[in-house]
């Protein structure tokens, strides 16, 4: 299959909507990362997403809607006040909520679960595409399974060339890490995957917010994750990643770099001078820019052919929690304190 890379002109959006309606898969930008979309109500179309990504069949997809009217057909009952408050505060935006699913949502989308994850993206191209399609759009991140999520159209093409008919190029993603996935089945909202909406933002609306143990810790032997995605190897480039934390970060990275052939350092802009002539990629100046740059930097490390990637950590607060969640997984929990 030939893959077309198009800017989101009205004509391109109309054709992309037509492709989705006819059961095809389209790569498209959101404010978090690029997604690989298909008609969520069409099992055969959804199947093509799993095939294009090489995604395990027991990992459910997020269904994307353009407006509040899109929600009712997908869920089993009216959203409760908790859900309402979060939707009012953060939709459209990088927040995914888990609801009991309606019978209309195919089991393939939810991997057989009786819940469905729903998100209303704010990116104008994502909004326009869902409207053009006229159907809810199931969309995981547009990477081959296990690879870093794509934050530019070129990243999507790198993984999906020849596997999907069309990719819409909306430029680099603003947030850079995926949406925050929140489970509403307990007393307080529980973050299963941290992302663009922070714990503090949720607490401002919901008074309490729990962070699932698996966010910053490896799953224990035989432990069942609340979110199936948490059990897979994730976000990993070909090079071996190690994360460095604490006050000796720079010293420890320099020691490791100097003892390791073909290493590469991912560092905060302000620390670059400490590394001198050693090979570095800047992650920007703070947790927000780290989030925006991280996945692209991990892909860049592969393009440079680095065997070993030594990455500075960040305080796991605000969007820094999402950064550390992704980094720990990319590093398979190789952490030096
Ligand atoms: O920002 C995002 O959320 C991006 C863009 C494209 O919207 N999408 C995304 O999808 O990150 P994906 O498939 O890469 O990650 C979805 C996560 C997985 O960890 C999955 O296990 C979890 O959401 N998930 C989906 N449905 C679920 C459900 N019913 N219950 C618990 N977790 C669920
Ligand atoms: Mg993903």
Instruction: For residue range 229-271, list pLDDT tens digits in order.
Output: 666 667 889 999 999 999 999 999 999 999 999 999 999 999 9
Q: Judge whether 206 and 218 are in contact, CB under 8 Å.
A: no
The residue nearest atom 3 of ligand 1, judged by CA position, is 179
pTM for this model (two decimals): 0.96
Q: Could you give the percent of the chain with pLDDT greater than 70?
A: 99
Give the nearest ligand 1 atom to 193 CA: 19
Report the Cα 98 to chain-centroid distance in Å: 16
Instruction: For residue range 191-233, list pLDDT tens digits in order.
Output: 999 999 999 999 999 989 999 999 999 887 777 777 776 666 6
Terminal Cα distance for the chain, rounded: 47
Give the nearest ligand 1 atom to 177 CA: 1
> 199: helix, coil or strand?
helix
102 is in an annotated binding site: no
Within 6 Å (CB) of ligand 1, which residues are found? 30, 32-33, 35, 59-62, 94, 96, 98, 110, 113, 115-117, 119, 121, 139-141, 178-179, 181, 192-193, 227-229
Q: Judge whether 119 and 179 are in contact, CB under 8 Å.
A: yes
Distance from residue 244's CA to the centre of ligand 1 (Å): 27
Q: Which residue has the higher pLDDT, 299 or 219?
A: 299
| Residue in 33, 8, 6, 37 with CA at minimum distance from that of residue 21 | 37
pLDDT for the residue numbered 223:
77
Task: Label residues 320-332 b or e (16+ Cβ within 10 Å = b).
Answer: bbbbbbbbbbbbe
Distance from residue 227's CA to the centre of ligand 1 (Å): 8
pLDDT for the residue numbered 230:
66
Distance from residue 55's CA to the centre of ligand 2 (Å): 9
Distance from residue 177's CA to the centre of ligand 2 (Å): 10
Calculate ∠ Cα 253-255-256, nearest 5°: 65
Instruction: For residue range 28-54, list pLDDT tens digits in order.
Output: 999 999 999 999 999 999 999 999 999
């Amino acid at each position: 299959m030939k893959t077309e890379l198009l800017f989101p002109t009205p004509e391109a959006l109309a054709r992309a909507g037509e492709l989705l309606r006819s059961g095809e898969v389209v790569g498209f930008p959101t404010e978090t990362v690029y997604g690989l979309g298909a008609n969520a109500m069409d099992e055969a179309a959804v199947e093509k997403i799993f095939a294009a990504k090489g995604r395990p069949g027991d990992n459910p997809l997020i269904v994307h809607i353009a407006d509040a009217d899109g929600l009712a057909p997908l869920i089993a009952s009216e959203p409760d006040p908790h859900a309402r408050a979060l939707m009012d505060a953060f939709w459209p935006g990088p927040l995914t909520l888990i609801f009991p699913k309606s019978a209309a949502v195919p089991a393939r989308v939810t991997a057989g679960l009786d819940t469905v994850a729903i998100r209303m993206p704010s990116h104008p191209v994502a909004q326009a595409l869902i409207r053009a399609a006229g159907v809810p759009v199931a969309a995981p991140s547009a990477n081959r399974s296990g690879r870093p999520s794509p934050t530019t159209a070129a990243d999507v093409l790198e993984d999906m060339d020849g596997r999907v008919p069309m990719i819409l190029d909306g430029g680099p993603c603003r947030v850079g890490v995926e949406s925050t996935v929140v489970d509403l089945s307990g007393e307080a909202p529980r973050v299963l995957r941290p992302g663009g909406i922070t714990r503090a933002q949720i607490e401002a609306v919901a008074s309490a917010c729990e962070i699932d143990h698996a966010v910053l810790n490896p799953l224990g032997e035989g432990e069942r994750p609340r979110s199936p995605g948490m059990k897979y190897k994730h976000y990993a480039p070909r090079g071996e990643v190690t994360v460095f934390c604490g006050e000796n970060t720079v010293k420890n990275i320099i020691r490791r770099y100097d003892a390791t052939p073909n290493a590469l350092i991912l560092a905060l802009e302000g620390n670059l001078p400490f590394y001198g002539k050693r090979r570095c990629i800047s992650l920007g100046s703070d947790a927000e820019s780290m989030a925006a740059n991280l996945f692209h930097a991990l892909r860049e490390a592969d393009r440079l052919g680095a065997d070993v990637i030594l990455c500075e950590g960040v305080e796991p607060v605000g969007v820094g929690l999402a950064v550390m969640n992704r980094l720990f997984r990319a590093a398979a929990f190789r952490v030096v304190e």
